[in-house]
Each structure stands twice: as C-alpha cells, then as structure tokens.
Chains A and B, each alone.
Chain A
Amino acid sequence: MNNPSILIYTLVMAGVTYLLRAAPILIFQKKIENPFIQSFLFYVPYAVLAAMTFPAILTSTRCWPSAVAGLVTALTLGWRGKGLLTVALAACAAVYVVELILL
C-alpha cells in the first residue's frame, strides 16, 4: 500500500464530503420538504453500514470461526445498546481469544 494513493483517496473523500456540506449552504436557501427524500436520507446511514458489514465481516479476520465470534459478540452487546468503543473492543477480544485457541 503506497502513500501517494492514500493521499489521493483522502483528497477524493474529503472533496466529496466538503462539497456535500458546503454546496447547500452556498447555493440553496430552501429546505427539503419532500417526505420521500427526507425518509430516504434518514435510512441511508443504516443501510450503508449494514451493507458494508455483511458479508465483509466474515472474511475480515484470519479464520472464519474468529469472525463469527466477533460478529456474535458485537451483535449481542450492540443490541443491548453498549457504547461504540465497548462493542468494538469486545469484538476484537473475542476474535483474539478464538484465534489464540485455533491458530
């Protein structure tokens, strides 16, 4: 993974993000009233996070049983409303323990 390409990726991400934030402030002055677009924008973050997590999480670790352990841990704690860092670290711990046993 070479540095220039990470720089370019960063510039693309930052550029698109900034345009989304700045363009409406600088160009439009009216509010979106369309209920379909409002609802669509409300659902997008959840849909995108779900699509990014599955099935990718299953191949993110060094073996699939550890990935399943991480997934189950995250689902259980996330369902109970635990904080982001707690859930993330607990999932990592589950992966670590399973890999310690299997690898």
Chain B
Amino acid sequence: MKRRVVLYTLSLFSFVVTLFVSVAYGTANVPIEALFGQGEQKYVYILWTVRLPRVVLAALVGMALALSGAVMQRLLQNPLADPYTLGISSGASVGAVVVLFASLTTFGSWTLPIGAILGAFITFLFVVSFSRWIDANHSVVTLVLTGVMTSTFLSAIVSLLLARSHEELRSILHWLMGSVAMKGWSYTFAFLPFLFVGIGLIIVEHRALYAMSSGEKEAHLLGVSVRRTKRRLFIATSCLTGAAVAMSGMIGFVGLVVPHMTRLMMNRSFGGELPLVAIGGATFLMMTDTIARTIVRPEELPLGVVTALVGAPLFGYLLVRTMKGGR
C-alpha cells in the first residue's frame, strides 16, 4: 500500500509541475503570475485565451486516450490493444478528412469536429452491428477482427483522399498528425460531455473490468453481467477515443504506452491502475505538447510525432529499469 501512496503523490506532483511548466513555456514565455490575472495584461490575455485552453485540452485528451487504452487492454486481455483497435478513430479520421477535402463549412468552425464525431459514431455502429450479426456470442475476437478490417479499409480511404488532394493536402496532413493548438476553449468545453460519459461508464464498471482479467467466463461466474459490461465499456472507449480524435487528430502512442508505463511503475501490482493512468496520460500529453511547441519555436512540431519520439525512449528506459532491476 505504501508504494501506492508514493506513486499517487509522485503522479499528482508531476501533473501539477507539468501543468505550470506547460502554461509558462511556449512560443511566448508567460510569467506564472498571469495565471492569477497579475502582471502585464498581454500575458494574461495570451495565457487565458491561447495557452491555458491548449494545455487543458492536452490534459483532457491525454487522459481520455490513456484511459481508453487501459480499458481496451483489460477488456481484450491483450497488452497490444489501444484506443484505435476497434477502428473508431479511423472513422473519425475519414469524417475529418472528408470535411477538409471538400472544404465543408456547414457548421462554421465546428464542421471539422462534428464531421469527425459523426465518422466515429457511424463506424462504431457499423463495427458493433457487424460483429453482432456474424457472432451471436459477442466475442471480443470477432469485435477486434471487425475493427481491424474496418480501420484498414477506412485508412485506405484517408490515403485515397490524401492522394487526390491538392491545396488541402497540408491541412489534412496537419490534422492527421495531431494537434491541440489554436482550438480555444470551445473545443475543450465541447469535449467535456464525452469525457464525462466515458469516465462515468468506466467508473460504474471498473470492478467488473477487474473481474474480467481472468476471462469472461470467470467474470460471469463471479456475477458480472458480461454482455452489459462489455457494451458499456465499448461505448465508453468509443466516446473517449472518438471525441479525442475529433478534437485533436490522431495522436498515437498515448493510449498504448501510458497504461504500460503506469503498470511498470506500479511494479507487479494488480488492479487500481486506472486513476494513475488517467493522471499519467494527462501529464504525458501536456509535457509532449509543451515540447512540441518550444523545441523549434516559433514553429511547432506535430504532436502525434512528438508523443512517439519522446514516449518510446521513455518507455524503453522504464522497461530496462524494471526488467534489469529484478522481478
């Protein structure tokens, strides 16, 4: 138990530190006092209208992707699962890329995220209906295979649109590589309902989720309503992933690796990792976004690229430390 307390403290501490660092550093360095409305008004303005919404969105998206990944890994009992396994993100991508490709502006600046959410939702319905149709047992294997089939197909559509695009090419690529820049508070607020639904469902089913680690049958024997739990958790992960992708594009690596990093740090301890995963995901994405916008300032690196560049060595270090440090 003591290790848990230490971990939680460390985790929250890094979260807060990263939050302050992220708020302060960027294309323009902003003094911390601006957070409280003190100091030069231009800094206060930058902080509250540009910097803070970005940092908060990064934190929320990071949290959503990491949680989604952790749930998928437990649900599918596969350490390689991530939020994109079921293909929902590919659907979101198609929705977004279609909007960019055709330069649609039906809903003004909201057209892009709406297109992405619609794409995610339609894909979700398709994947679930299709796997239910071919497999009355709702086995996760069927669901995963359907997701793989769907995401492969949809990714090809995205590539097709890319290949056929001209002036829109840059904006499509930019969106695909992920970004939380220049979205403003409206994106953050729009993301919140999806976050609440997703996290809410996960909280309701978290004990059932742990019970499912021994397999669906064992969970059933313990009293879990397996069908209901799976349904709710798939809705939760789809909400979290679909909305995250709609708001910030395809940011990879977070959903796959943050859950593993968290578990490695918990060092052979079963269960209870979800809150730590959530905090870790938020911290990680805030940090990588800060790096993305400071390392070649005033320009920015794509967020999806930085998450992998930073995350992979970090993960490697943790892996070495844990494996070499003895079981």
Task: Determine if chain A interacts with chain B.
Answer: no
Which residues of B come within 8 Å of A, CB atoms? Answer: none
Which residues of A come within 8 Å of B, CB atoms? Answer: none
